[in-house]
Amino acid sequence: MTTADRRIRGLRPPKPSVDAWAAHGTAVDEERRPDGTVERALTIFLAGAECPFTCAFCDLWRYTIDGPTPRGALPRQVEAVLGTLGTLGTPRPDRLKLYNASNFFDRRAVPPEDRPALAALGAPFRGVTVESHAATVGPAVVDFARTLGGRLEVAMGLETVHPAAMARLNKRLDLGRFDRAAAFLAEHEVDLRVFVLLGAPHVPAAESVAWTARAVEHAAARGAAVVCVIPVRGGNGEMERLASSGAFTPPTLAQLEDVLDRCVGLAPTVVTVDLWDAAALATCDACRDARVARLRRMNVSGHAEPRVECLTCGDA
């Protein structure tokens, strides 16, 4: 563990108790794909081992356990969620997203012995999405893809292409490594989903939208099927330390709108913005709900819409 790792982990508030044998959440959303179709995607937020990379901005550690993921725990979590689908009275989703707050191809986070069972559980779905650091993209990805009934998509965090910021995120990632992983996925016909940050620390606030758009464009040029822009959130201790030193300014709802307005037409790549906790982003109380609703519609439609006009704050 590096000095930066120890500092970041040392600033965290206490970790909530996490049950290694129960998923800690689910979501069903409509998602647009590059061919214009709209899928229903079921996301299962799995409990498992923490990611070893200790990124400065990360808040996913809250949903991880201490130690490696027990063998058999992830299939049991997925089985339990899928077992409830029939009782909901809704059609089976088209896509299954298995997000384990870590790296799917890290043996400590997902025991290799469990991958066949997870592939079997994903077999009825048109597509399966898992998340991975670029460093863990390799032959295991191809092996898993071959066992699925549908098509595999790997979600990787690019975060930013700002050279100084990228080097200071403690992610152990540079553009060369990301690009090689993206090329590997394309060579083996595995789809790529990319996460990009809005408000990345060490990026000047006045340049945040421009650098986020550059990162989206970089991902699209490397064949990303989907790019999701995620506003950086505080709460892990490190982001508060960076904010106090002037290295981090929380993003605003207006900046999130600016990014999507700039990138929504970047076909065939689907560009969306993450609206989880979007209501907490700094903005006007009078128009917040309407503005978030506009972004939600644009995420699904892929079509630009006029900005919301507000007499209270004067935004348009």
CATH number for 166:
3.20.20.70
Could you tell me if residue 309 is inside a domain?
no
Instruction: Please state, rounded to an integer, the average pLDDT across all residues of the chain.
Output: 95
- C-alpha 27/C-alpha 211 separation (Å) is 30
Strand partners, 95: 41, 127
Mean pLDDT, residues 65-79 taken together: 97
Could you tell me if residue 215 is inside a domain?
yes
Could you tell me if residue 269 is inside a domain?
yes
Query: What is each CA distance from 192 to 168, 182, 244, 265, in whole angstroms?
Result: 24, 7, 36, 18
Nearest to 161 by CA among 235, 104, 102, 221: 221
For residue 253, pLDDT beyond 80 = yes
Range of the domain at 249: 3-301
Q: What is the pTM of this model?
A: 0.95
Mean pLDDT, residues 248-271 taken together: 96
For residue 194, pLDDT beyond 70 = yes
Could you tell me if residue 288 is inside a domain?
yes
Q: Phi/psi zone of residue 198: left (φ > 0), alpha (ψ -120 to 50 degrees), beta? A: beta
For residue 88, pLDDT beyond 60 = no
Could you tell me if residue 316 is inside a domain?
no
Reported as a single tens digit per residue, the pLDDT across 135-191 is 999 999 999 999 998 999 999 999 999 999 999 999 999 999 999 999 999 999 999
| Per-residue pLDDT at 316 | 52
Could you tell me if residue 258 is inside a domain?
yes
For residue 91, pLDDT beyond 90 = no
Could you tell me if residue 307 is inside a domain?
no
For residue 89, pLDDT beyond 70 = no
93, 51 in Cβ contact below 8 A?
A: no
Query: What is each CA distance from 18 to 46, 68, 115, 237, in whole angstroms?
Result: 10, 13, 22, 20
| Per-residue pLDDT at 148 | 95
For residue 44, pLDDT beyond 60 = yes
| Per-residue pLDDT at 43 | 96
Provide the token pair at 310. Answer: 């507000």
Reported as a single tens digit per residue, the pLDDT across 213-248 is 999 999 999 999 999 999 999 999 999 999 999 999
Mean pLDDT, residues 40-57 taken together: 96
For residue 207, pLDDT beyond 90 = yes
Mean pLDDT, residues 198-214 taken together: 98
Greater confidence, 93 or 311? 93
| Per-residue pLDDT at 86 | 67
- C-alpha 251/C-alpha 300 separation (Å) is 23
| Per-residue pLDDT at 315 | 65
Mean pLDDT, residues 67-73 taken together: 97
How many domains does the chain fold into?
1
For residue 81, pLDDT beyond 70 = yes
Show Cβ contacts of residue 119 under 8 Å, excluding neighbours closer than 6 positions.
144, 147, 148
Mean pLDDT, residues 192-200 taken together: 98
Show Cβ contacts of residue 129 under 8 Å, excluding neighbours closer than 6 positions.
41, 95, 96, 97, 98, 99, 152, 153, 154, 155, 193
For residue 203, pLDDT beyond 80 = yes
Read off the pLDDT band of 78 (50, 70, 90). Answer: very high
Show Cβ contacts of residue 140 under 8 Å, excluding neighbours closer than 6 positions.
105, 112, 115
- C-alpha 188/C-alpha 143 separation (Å) is 10
